[in-house]
């Protein structure tokens, strides 16, 4: 149980990171950096 929960948290963190990178890329494109 604990392992699966930890794994799920890791997955969420990875998704958040991915989302953050996508957002950064969007802003960079808007600014034209």
Stated pTM of the model: 0.46
Task: Determine the Cα–Cα distance for residues 19 and 4; give it in Å rounded to an integer.
Answer: 23
Q: In the numeric block, which tokens belong to residue 26?
A: 């969007």
In 3D space, the residue among 10, 30, 31, 12 whose CA is nearest the CA of residue 20 turns out to be 12
Which pLDDT score is estimated for 30? 79
- Residue ranges of domains in the chain: 1-33
pLDDT digits (tens, 9 = 90+) for 1-33: 566 677 778 888 888 888 877 877 887 787 775
pLDDT of residue 3: 65
Whole-number pLDDT of residue 2: 62
């Amino acid at each position: 149980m604990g392992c699966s929960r930890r794994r799920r948290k890791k997955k969420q963190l990875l998704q958040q990171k991915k989302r953050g990178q996508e957002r950064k890329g969007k802003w960079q494109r808007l600014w034209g950096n």
